[in-house]
Structure 1
Amino acid sequence: MTIVSGHIARDHVHLLLSCPPNLAPSKVVQYLKGRSSRLLQDEFSQLKKRY
């Protein structure tokens, strides 16, 4: 996957991605959400108690 362009707002993110055609969009989103969640919880340990 490659991020072609993106925009970050206060409460959400827009991404334009280039992905192989054999990846389902739902799997791409699942991967991105899982990875970003782990990175945020590693950086901000107080989030682990909340979620």
Structure 2
Amino acid sequence: MYGETKKDLVEIIKKLCEMKQVNLIDGRVCIDHIHMYAAIPPKMSVSEFMLYLKGKSALMLFDRHPEYRNKWGERHFWARGYYVSTVGNVNEETIIKYIQEQEENDKLEEARK
């Protein structure tokens, strides 16, 4: 996901996080996935937020890029699962560094192909 799609996806995710009062601390859009560091309000479950984020972002992206609707189907953009970890066991700087390195690693991997 590069170019216009990446730009739109960043904008969409920021907007959706803001609407749910989720603090998006950092994130990177890679070729086929996203890394995010977010603070979700205690009243909201992680699964509830991910369902909202993936569902709404797909619909909003399809509105901006209808060609993806034909490519992956009406309601399929994201994979079914996601990975979540809490900051408690690792310090915040380590997580931010990891996320920031992901986009660069993705570009290096793509260049090797």
TM-score range, shorter chain: 0.7 to 0.9
In the alignment, structure 1 segments of 5+ residues that lack a partner are none
Structure 2, unaligned runs of 5 or more: 1-21, 75-113
Partner residue of 1:10 out of 19, 31, 43: 31
| 38-47 or 12-21, larger mean C-alpha shift | 38-47
Instruction: State the Cα RMSD in Å.
Output: 1.3
Larger Rg belongs to: 2
How many percent of aligned residue pairs carry the same amino acid? 27
Higher RCO, Cα 8 Å, sep 6+: 2
Greater mean deviation of Cα atoms: 9-18 or 38-47: 38-47
TM value normalised by structure 1: 0.83
Comparing both structures, which one devotes a greater share of its residues to helix?
Answer: 2
Task: Name the count of aligned residue pairs.
Answer: 51
Task: Name the TM-score, length of structure 2 as normaliser.
Answer: 0.42
